[in-house]
Amino acid sequence: MAGFWGRRKREEEALAAQDADLARRAEQALVAADERIRTTSDELAFAQAELGDALTADLKAALTAVRTHLREAFQLHQLNHDEIPDTPEELRTRNARIVQLCDWAENLLDEKTGDIAENVAKVRRAPEVIAQVRRDAEALGAHIPQARETIARLAARYAETATRRIASSADEADQLVAFATHGADVSERRRAAKRNEEANLALETATEAVRRAAAILDAVDDFEIQALRAEATLADVVADSRGDIVAARTAPQTPEVTAATSALEAALNALAPAGTLNDPFAELTQLRAANSALDAAIAKAQYRMQHPLPSLDQVQHALDDADRQLGVARGLISGHRGWIGADARTRLAEAERLRVDVPAMLPAEDTREQALTSARRVAHLAAEALQLAQHDIDSSRPQDQGWGGDGWGGGRRGGGGNIVSGVLGGLVIGSILDGIFD
C-alpha cells in the first residue's frame, strides 16, 4: 500500500513539474512574441520605405492578424494571474493555448519576413542584375549574325520541312534581345521613380527574355549537330532495312509480313535522291516505323508457325467440355446447398464468370488462342468445384447410418463419389441412347 501512495506522489510531483515548465514556456513565448511584433513593425516600416505598400501588403496583413490573435494569449495569461483560483487543468489548458498562439505567430512572421527579405534583396541587387542583363543581351546580339549564317547554310543543305523550326530563330532572338534591353531601361526608370514593384516586374521580364533568346540561339547550334547525327543514323537504318527485306523473303509469308515488307520498300523508295534537299528527321522516323512494323510482323509469323492457331472446332470442343463440367458441378452444388462450402461455390462462380467472356474471343484470330486457354481454365475450375463439393458432401454426411448399400452404391467409403459417378454415368448413358435413337 505504501508503494502505491509513493508512486502516486511521484506522479503528482512529475505532473506539477511539467505544469511549471509549461507555465515558464508560456511566459517566455509571450515575451518573445511581443518582442517579435515590435521588431517586425520596425522591419515593415523600413520595407515600406524601400519597397512601397504593394510589396509589403502581405507582411502588414500578417502583422495585423498576429496582433489580433495574441490578444487572446495575453487575456489567457491575465486569467492565470487574477484573484480567482484556478484548477491545474485550467492552467495547463491556458498555457498550452498561449504557447500554440505564440508559435503560430512566430511561424507566420518568419514566413512573411522571409518574403520581404527576398524582395529587398532583389531591389538592392537590381543594378547588378540590370548590368548583367545588358551584358548578356550584347553578347547574344553579337551571336545573332552567326546564327543567321548557320540557318542559311542549313537551308541550303536540308529541305524546308527540316529547317522550318529554326528558320525564324535569328529574328526571334533579335526581338527578344531588343525587348530585354528595353525592359532593363524601364526597370531603371521605375526604380528611380520609387516604383519598385513595377521595376521588379520589368527586370524579371527582361531576364526571362535574355534566357529565351539564349535558348533559341543554342537550338540553332544544336540543330546542325542533330541533323548530322540523323544523317549518319539514316544511312545505318537504310542498310539495316535492306537486310530486313532480304530476310523477310525467308520468313513465313503471311499477309502481315507481305504488307509490312511492301511498306518498308515504299519507305526506302520515298527517300530523297542523292544530291537533293532532304529531311533526315522525317525520313528516319518513317524508316524506323516501317522497320519496326516488319520486325513485329515477322516475329508474329514465326511465333504462329511454332504455335499454330487453334481452329474454331478445337475451341468449340473445349468450350463444350467446359459446359459439361459446369453443368455437372452446378447440378451437384445446387442440389446440396446446405452441405457445400465457400471454396466450391467460389470456384464455380469464377468458372461461370470466365465462361461469359469466351464467346467474344472466338471470332478474332488474335484472341482465339486466349479463348482456348480460357475454355480449358473454365473446365479446370469446374472440376475443382466438383471435387471440393464432393469432399464437402462426404464430410457433412453422417457415417454408418444406412447411407451405404444399393441406394447410393458406395458403402462406407462415401457415396459422394458415386453421386458424381452417377451423374456422369447418366450423361454417358444419355448420350449413348441419343446415338441409338438417332
pTM attached to this predicted model: 0.52
Residue written as grid cell 509469308: 253
Distance of CA 243 to the CA centre of its chain: 40
Distance of CA 3 to the CA centre of its chain: 60
CA 390, 393, 398, 401 dihedral sign is: negative
At 332, list the grid cell: 451437384
One DSSP character per residue, 49-81 reads: HHH-TTTTHHHHHHHHHHHHHHHHHHHHHHHHT
Q: What is the rounded distance in angstroms from the CA atom of residue 248 to the CA atom of residue 262? A: 11
Query: Is the separation of the CB atoms in 36 and 73 below 8 Å?
Result: no
- The 3-class secondary structure across 370-407, one letter per residue, is HHHHHHHHHHHHHHHHHHHHHHHHHHHCCCCCCCCCCC
Nearest to 120 by CA among 51, 53, 43: 51
Q: What is the rounded distance in angstroms from the CA atom of residue 75 to the CA atom of residue 68? A: 12
Give the pLDDT of residue 172: 94
Number of H helices, E strands in the chain: 12, 0
Question: How much is the CA Rg of the chain, to the nearest whole Å?
Answer: 43
Q: What is the distance between the terminal CA atoms of the chain, rounded to a whole angstrom?
A: 98
Q: Is 353 helix (H, G, I), strand (E, B) or coil?
A: helix
Interhelix angle 196-248/169-192, rounded to 10 degrees, is: 160
Q: Output the furthest CA–CA distance in the chain (Å, rounded).
A: 114
Query: Is the separation of the CB atoms in 154 and 221 below 8 Å?
Result: no
At 167, list the grid cell: 528558320
Separation in Å, CA 42 to CA 37, 73, 86: 9, 22, 38
Q: Alpha helices of 81-195 — where are they, by DSSP H? A: 88-157, 160-163, 169-192
One DSSP character per residue, 120-150 reads: HHHHHHHHHHHHHHHHHHHHHHHHHHHHHHH
Distance of CA 33 to the CA centre of its chain: 44
Give the pLDDT of residue 37: 87
Q: Which amino acid is at 55?
A: L
Q: Is 339 helix (H, G, I), strand (E, B) or coil?
A: coil
- The residue extents of the domains of the chain are 2-125, 131-223, 249-306, 320-397
Q: What is the rounded distance in angstroms from the CA atom of residue 146 to the CA atom of residue 405? A: 106
Write the DSSP symbol of residue 273.
P
User: Which helix H or strand E contains 337, and what residues bound it?
Assistant: none
Query: Is the separation of the CB atoms in 332 and 382 below 8 Å?
Result: no
pLDDT tens over the chain, length 438 residues: 445 455 666 666 666 677 677 788 888 888 888 888 888 888 888 777 767 677 778 888 888 898 888 888 888 888 877 777 778 888 888 888 888 889 898 898 888 888 777 777 777 777 888 899 999 999 999 999 999 999 999 999 899 888 988 999 999 999 999 999 999 999 889 888 878 778 888 888 999 999 999 999 999 989 989 999 998 999 899 998 889 888 888 888 888 889 999 998 899 888 888 878 888 999 999 999 999 999 898 888 887 777 777 778 888 888 888 889 889 988 888 888 778 888 988 998 999 899 888 888 877 777 888 888 888 999 999 999 989 988 888 887 765 444 444 444 343 334 444 444 444 444 333 333 333 333
Q: Residues in the chain, how many?
A: 438
One DSSP character per residue, 216-259 reads: HHHHHHHHHHHHHHHHHHHHHHHHHHHHHHHHHTTS---HHHHH
Residue 24 gets the label, from left (phi > 0), alpha (psi -120 to 50) or beta, of alpha
